[in-house]
């Protein structure tokens, strides 16, 4: 009788194990599973069970301990793109096999925080646009536009820190020019952001930089149309109306003298270089025609004539 009970118990155990190690029927495909740093084995097992990545939390813990890997669980984010059985899941998590392939993400020069957040969201299911905007908005202008290789599990915090650190690295290239120019880095970044939107070539940016620095020095409003993207979303001068120019906003550089409260975009290296190497001219006005060609004027009257000629 005793032998029958033992045999029965063994059969029940093996049946339990055979069922427990199988792939769950509701195994989620194309999902991410996070193992927070410092997580206990029971916590991980429960999370795996709740996520339907395993059938039994008990068996997960049992086989991890049996294999002597209870202290080898590797924290991080794991990608599961196909169903795995219990032993395969254990192998992945105890060997740090994340299953993630870095993706190439390009942030174009002149992308603001909101545009950058949208780009990153297109590449990652774990990325929070709202969180990125919250973290990055106070640093508009200091998130370097570049080509990055991110894991698809990238978080808002990780993306923000990477872009911010890259700015600090890149700005060192221009440190001699910035020091020689002797203007606060905050003003340099704001100027570069305006130049990024106002012109496309290094020469035109440097000429416009000379014009805008001159306007500041004589107490003239900057009158930069591109700043309206922070007022009403308009970027193109052709879209602006007389009513737009009357909007009461600190980003309205027609109403308020000096720089906007923050940079309006994140400038690239060329715009930053142009900001600190302005070309001095006798011009005080500029415009870009429908073909993108720049036209400069010494007086407002001359500027009006050119506006009628090239923009009407």
pLDDT digits (tens, 9 = 90+) for 139-167: 999 999 999 999 888 889 999 999 999 99
Residue 173 confidence (pLDDT) above 70: yes
pLDDT at 8: 54
pLDDT, tens only, 187-233: 999 999 999 999 999 999 999 999 999 999 999 999 998 888 777 76
Tell me the average pLDDT across 278-291: 92
Residue 287: strand pairing partners: 295
Helix (H) or strand (E) holding 94: helix 86-95
Mean pLDDT (the chain) is: 88
- Domains of the chain by start residue, with CATH: 23-95 (3.30.1490.480), 103-171 (3.30.1490), 174-310 (no CATH)
Confidence tier at 12 by pLDDT (50, 70, 90): low
Percent of the chain past pLDDT 70, that is, above it, reads 89
State the Cα–Cα distance between residues 89 and 152, nearest whole angstrom.
Answer: 20
How many angstroms separate the Cα of 160 from the Cα of each of 117, 142, 187, 263, 272?
10, 10, 22, 16, 20
Q: What is the pLDDT averaged over residues 45-52?
A: 89
| 3-class secondary structure, 31 | strand
What's the token pair of residue 147?
């080509």
Residue 44: CB atoms within 10 A of its CB come to: 21
Q: What is the pLDDT of residues 245-258, one digit of tens each?
A: 778 888 889 898 99
User: At 299, is the pLDDT very low, low, confident or very high (cuts 50, 70, 90)?
Assistant: very high
* Non-local CB neighbours of 167 within 8 Å, separated by 6+ positions: 142, 143, 144, 266
Tokens representing 236? 């193109």
The pLDDT confidence band at residue 17, using thresholds 50, 70 and 90, is low
pLDDT value at residue 258: 93
């Amino acid at each position: 009788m005793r032998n029958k009970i033992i045999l029965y118990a063994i059969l029940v155990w093996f049946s339990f194990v055979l069922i427990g190690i199988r792939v769950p029927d509701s195994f989620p495909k194309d999902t991410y599973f996070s193992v927070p740093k410092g997580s206990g084995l029971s916590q991980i097992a429960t999370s795996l069970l709740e996520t339907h990545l395993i059938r039994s939390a008990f068996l997960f813990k049992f086989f991890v301990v049996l294999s002597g890997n209870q202290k080898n669980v590797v924290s991080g984010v794991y990608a599961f793109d196909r169903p795995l059985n219990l032993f395969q899941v254990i192998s992945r998590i105890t060997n740090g096999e994340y299953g993630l392939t870095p993706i190439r993400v390009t942030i174009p020069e002149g992308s603001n925080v909101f545009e950058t957040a949208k780009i990153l969201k297109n590449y990652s299911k774990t990325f929070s646009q709202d969180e990125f905007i919250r973290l990055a908005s106070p640093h508009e202008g200091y998130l370097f536009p570049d080509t990055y290789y991110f894991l698809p599990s990238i978080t808002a915090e990780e993306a923000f820190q990477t872009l911010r650190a890259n700015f600090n690295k890149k700005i060192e290239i221009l440190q001699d020019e910035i020091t020689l120019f002797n203007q606060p880095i905050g003003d340099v970044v704001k100027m570069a952001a305006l130049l990024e939107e106002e012109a496309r070539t290094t020469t035109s940016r440097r000429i416009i930089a000379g014009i805008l620095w001159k306007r500041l020095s004589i107490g003239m409003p900057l009158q930069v149309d591109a700043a309206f993207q922070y007022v009403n979303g308009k970027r193109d001068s052709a879209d602006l109306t007389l009513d737009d120019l009357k909007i009461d906003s600190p980003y309205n550089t027609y109403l308020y003298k000096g720089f906007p409260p923050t940079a309006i975009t994140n400038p690239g290296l060329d715009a930053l270089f142009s900001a600190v190497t302005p070309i001095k001219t006798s011009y005080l006005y500029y415009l870009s025609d429908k073909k993108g060609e720049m036209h400069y004027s010494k007086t407002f009257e001359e500027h009006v004539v050119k506006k009628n000629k090239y923009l009407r």
